[in-house]
Amino acid sequence: MPENRKLAAILAADVVGFSRLAGADEDRTLARLRALRSDLIDPTIAVHHGRVVKRTGDGILVEFRSVVDAVRCAIEVQNGMVERNAGLPAERRIEFRLGIHLGDVVEESDGDLMGDGVNVAARLEGIAKPGAICLSEDAYRQVRARLDLAVNDLGETQLKNIVHPVRVYSLQVGVPSQPSGQAAAQRSRRGLVVAAALGTALLVIGGAVVYLRPFARAPSAEAPLAQQTGPTTAAAVPSPPSQPARPEVKPEPPAPSQASPSPPAATAAPSPTPAPSPATPSATPPVETPAAAPPSADEAAWRAAVAANTVAGFNQYLQASPAGAHLEEAQLQIADQILASPTRSKAYDGRWLTRVTCASLGRAQSYSMELSGEVKDGAYHARVGTVGEAGSLVIDGKIVSDGSAALLAKGSVGSTATSGGTAVGTPYLYHVIAQFEPSRGTGKRIEVRPCNLTFVKQ
């Protein structure tokens, strides 16, 4: 079979520190990763006309028709992760590294891609910082005029097992772009040329001493392009208001009789150590270190819950801050503690009908499904369909004496319409916290997608 070679934009992505996350809590990490794929990553890839070539555990390789589509997809995914990680402690955040390259690839008969284009994209992903996107020079050239983000030129970089160095650019998601250094240099060079020409003309006229000083400030108008990151840019530019203010200031050396306005010749002879003008302190006011702000009510409630480290403590946080920054973390802590508790209650034993209702999210349509379940010795189990087949769902968990319950749902996608484009048969997993009464109960899905559960005893 002849080779099928083509030019393609390749995106490689990987979870930062996946082994550490999985080692700390494998079930929760896999559940969150699957939810991210079904609710964010796969729908975003589909919107930008990407094709998933392969998944490698926590990584993914995607082919795009153009670099523009690949970069837009990458930026949306990274922005989505910023929103989803808000309020989570650093050790529980899922962060991606992304690499994008435009290069020659070989497409196999099964759709897999091989070649230097794939290898470079994978190596770019490997050197990207958490939350960042690294582009090769070939890819960057296609989008540099369209980017609205800050870009770091990392220069020629020797990538692992790549023969020739590759110039790499890193996109900082969430940081607005600045004027390019090349444009600033060109403007600076043009300014110097104009200043030199004007200066030469003025020398011919004979007024060089008088007119060269104003033109000496010309580079300062461009200098802020290279100095914008420093706090002293404004102080580096002479302050014109200080010049006319001098006639009204009493010089220290002369006697009080000289305080009256003096002729211009007198102002041109300042003392060897000039006194600071009144404008100088206002231009650079002393920086006062603000006092540490007290924690917000939400943060104070969260600290109290963490200190208590009990189901009751985290429930108190949810009641005090129903829209708090640590909402998901508190719910997961409750679920973990209930599932780890050795106690169970037989008060809820019997057969139960469970209904799951999920609201729409993005391209994913809303849906509902019913499961037949049973509680025995406080252990909850419900199922619909054959385990592992498309559309199936199994829910297991535990109910304790006060009716609090933690459940773990494992299913397989049954429809691309309700999954937002995720392939049928793709597995997913999520947690539920619930509250049971003798004959009924309610629960909520924790991760990503809003879903409500109702339980009715048969």
Report how far residue 431's alpha carbon sits from residue 446's, in angstroms, rounded to the nearest whole number. Answer: 6
pLDDT band at 4 (very low <50, low <70, confident <90, very high): confident
pLDDT value, residue 411: 86
Q: Is 356 in the same domain as 323?
A: no
- Give 212's pLDDT tier (boundaries 50, 70, 90): very low
Lowest mean pLDDT among 13-22, 27-36, 250-259: 250-259
Contact 70, 62 (CB under 8 A): yes
pLDDT for position 24: 85
pLDDT digits (tens, 9 = 90+) for 253-281: 444 444 444 444 444 445 455 555 454 44
| Percent of residues, the chain, with pLDDT higher than 70 | 73
Task: Examine the domain organization and report whether 39 and 147 are in the same domain.
Answer: yes
Residue 354 lies in a domain: yes
Of 38-52, 151-165, 271-285, 401-415, give the lowest mean pLDDT range.
271-285
When pLDDT is cut at 50, 70 and 90, the band that residue 322 belongs to is: confident
pLDDT of residue 343: 67
- 57 shares its domain with 201: no
User: Is the pLDDT assigned to residue 302 strictly greater than 50?
Assistant: yes
Q: Does residue 331 sit in the same domain as residue 384? A: no
Do residues 366 and 443 share a domain?
A: yes
Of the segments 208-212, 227-231, 305-309, 381-385, which one has the largest average pLDDT value?
A: 381-385
Has residue 267 been placed in a domain? no
97 is a domain residue: yes
**End residue of a domain, out of 304, 322, 340:** 340
CATH number at residue 105: 3.30.70.1230
Of the given ranges (27-41, 266-280, 358-372, 391-405), which has the lowest mean pLDDT?
266-280
Strands 133-136 and 96-107 turn out to be parallel
Q: What is the pLDDT of residue 177?
A: 57
Label residue 65 by pLDDT band (50, 70, 90).
confident
In this structure, the answer to whether residues 208 and 311 fall within a common structural domain is no
Region 50-58 average pLDDT: 88
Question: 196, 226, 256: which is the final residue of a domain?
Answer: 226
CA distance 382 to 11: 39
Looking at the fold, whether 136 and 9 belong to one and the same domain comes out as: yes
Is the domain of 17 the same as that of 65?
A: yes
Buried b (16+ CB within 10 A) or exposed e, 118-129: bbbbbbbbebbe
More confident residue, 442 or 420: 442
Regarding predicted confidence, which is higher, 174 or 273? 174
Q: How many domains are there within the chain?
A: 4
In which band, very low, low, confident or very high, does the pLDDT at 388 lie, cut at 50, 70 and 90? confident
**What is the rounded distance in angstroms from the CA atom of residue 292 to the CA atom of residue 308?**
25
What's the average model confidence in pLDDT over 7-21? 91
Q: How confident is the model at residue 284 (pLDDT cuts 50, 70, 90)?
A: low
Q: Based on the domain organization, do 80 and 113 belong to the same domain?
A: yes
* Interatomic CA distance for residues 436 and 458, integer angstroms: 14
Most confident of 103-112, 185-194, 234-243, 436-445: 436-445
Question: Residue 205: pLDDT above 50?
Answer: no
Chain segment 123-151, per-residue pLDDT in tens: 999 999 999 999 999 999 888 887 777 88
Residue the block writes with tokens 């005893």: 457
The CATH number of residue 351's host domain is: 2.40.128.120
Confidence band, pLDDT 50/70/90 cuts, at residue 298: confident
Average the pLDDT over each of 83-92, 275-284, 290-299 and give the range with the smallest value: 275-284
Better pLDDT: 454 or 28? 454
| Average pLDDT over the chain, rounded to an integer | 77
Is residue 256 domain-resident?
Answer: no
Query: Is 333 inside a domain boundary?
Result: yes
- Residue 272 is predicted with a pLDDT of 52
- Residue 285: the pLDDT is 56
Task: List, for residues 219-244, the tens digit of each pLDDT value.
Answer: 333 333 333 333 333 333 344 444 44
**DSSP H stretches of helix in 86-205:** 116-127, 137-143, 181-205
Sorting pLDDT into bands at 50, 70 and 90, what band is 408?
confident
User: Is 409 domain-assigned?
Assistant: yes
Name the residue range of residue 194's domain: 180-226
Q: What is the mean pLDDT of residues 204-233?
A: 38
pLDDT at 187 over 50: no
- Helices 208-216 and 181-205 meet at what angle, rounded to 10? 170
The residue with tokens 């379940």 is 373
Q: Is the pTM of this model over 0.85?
A: no
Same domain, 408 and 444: yes
Are 91 and 107 contained in the same domain? yes
What mean pLDDT is predicted for residues 13-31? 88
Contact 5, 24 (CB under 8 A): no
Under 8 Å CB-to-CB from 241, ≥6 apart: which residues? 279
Q: Please check whether residues 350 and 335 belong to one and the same domain.
A: no
pLDDT: which is higher, 192 or 222: 192
Residue 202 has pLDDT above 50, yes or no: no
Evaluate whether residue 150 is within a structural domain.
yes
Residue 245 forms part of a structural domain: no
